[in-house]
Structure 1
Amino acid sequence: MSEQLKVPTMAEFMAEGKQPEILFWVGSAGSYDDRAKKISKAFVKVLHKANVDFAVLGSEESNTGDVAKRAGNEFLFQMQAVMNIEVLNGYEIKRIVTCDPHSFNCIKNEYPGLGGHYDVIHHTQYIQELIDNGRLTVEGKTYKGKRITFHDPCYLGRANSVYDAPREVLKNTNATLTEMKRHKSTALCCGAGGAQMFKEPEKGDMDINVLRTQDALETRPDIIATGCPYCNTMMTDGIKAKEKENEVSVMDIAELIASS
């Protein structure tokens, strides 16, 4: 990995007797899925640009247990969660930033009941904070004249009422922002939530991602912006189903800011 994308681990910080500003929780998708890895790298580029002192857990990070919980396996969820909490508390982690709304919701709202109390924020909230504090400057030339519509992830929007941060960050691209008819609290799920990402639809069920993609295409976008690796996958598949991959791109907000 190049020096520009140097990603220190908590173990390295502790060896030097230091604490980072934030822990970047990469998540399973951001660690292993080839498309989502690009989102993780884009966010790391943003952190470097803003001179943020950050670290990751590396091999010590395990799945949050969110998918197991949504699928009904509470025992497996608690086993995963307790293991992660022991690691996080061992490092005395205070603030966690993640690009994955599923991890965000799980660590923020469900880990406290098992002894994990942290300040957890989504990467769009943190990027907005960096911009507001003057630590990050976005030139806003790359996407000027482009039309962007934002898809609200369920666990970011309806579950945690984070609607403004992604949109405020996108304003810095100088693109024309267009809203789908169903947005914010009325936004339609991409179809990945509740562990549905890992199974085919039941017989007779419609492909929700194609329906949601249709919502986006009605705004005539050049880019569909997402804030979740799972939403990114589902919307990308929807674009392919609509045979629009040569006309419309699906990009995470971190990628849009990193390339701005």
Structure 2
Amino acid sequence: YLYQTLAAHNIETFKKYGADKIICICPHGYNAIKNEYLQMEGDFEVYHSSEFLARLIAEGRLSVNKTEAVTMSYHDSCFLGRHNGIYEPPRQVVKSTGAQVVDIDKSRRFGFCCGAGGGRMFLEEEAVGGFKRINDARTGQLLQTGAGVIASNCPFCMTM
């Protein structure tokens, strides 16, 4: 009930201000507004910020300064990747800076869930019962690439 009430209020607010395009930085918010709000009369063009930025860069409407060469391992979040099929735009934005993106075997649609979307960031260490925490296993996979930077598009994944 609370979700529907808040979503209806958000839709009403978007319509009140004439919003027809919405850019989201959080994959969870992106998924909700793009897919779930449609069921509640929320008819908006919805973009993840990486899609929007990649398009602006490709069209030459946004220039990006090249930085020192960095090798980056990228973690695909569940809500942007597997739930919405967005894999390339975040990588395109990163590559536009001059960085090299190194993928691991379990990336894109085969990516490994970090567990944060299910609230596992609140799990106490001793509650794990001797098993390796999801975030530790995933970080280990990403570090094996030898990349100096690990990145993700999701603030929940980043907390893990």
- The TM-score, its normalising length taken from structure 2, stands at 0.91
Structure 1 alignment gaps of length 5 or more: 1-74, 235-260
2:135 aligned with 1:209: yes
The residue number in structure 1 matching 2:145 is 219
> d(CA) in 1 for partners of 2:19 and 2:120?
31
Displacement, 1:139?
Answer: 2.2
Aligned-CA RMSD value: 1.5
Aligned match for 2:16, one of 90, 100, 124: 90
Identify the residue that residue 129 of structure 1 maps to in structure 2: 55
Counterpart amino acid of residue 142 in structure 2: A
Structure 1 135/218 Cα, relative in aligned 2: closer, same or farther at 3 Å?
same
Higher relative contact order (CA 8 A, sep 6+): 2
Q: What do the CA deviations read for 1:112-151 (whole angstroms, capped 9, x no partner)?
A: 11111111111111110110121111121x231x211111
Kindly state the Cα deviation for residue 203 of structure 1 after the two structures are TM-superposed: 4.2
Deviation larger for 106-115 or 224-233: 224-233
1:173 maps to 97
Q: Quick one: which amino acid aligns to residue 79 of structure 2?
A: Y
The 5 A counterparts of 1:141-160 are 142-144=67-69, 146-160=70-84
Runs of 4+ residues deviating >6 angstroms: none
3-state SS in 1 of match to 2:2: helix
Number of residue equivalences: 157
Q: What is the rounded CA distance, in whole Å, between the counterparts of 1:137 and 1:176 in structure 2?
A: 18
Percent of aligned pairs sharing the same letter: 39
Report if aligned partners of 1:191, 1:207 keep a CA contact under 8 Å in 2: no
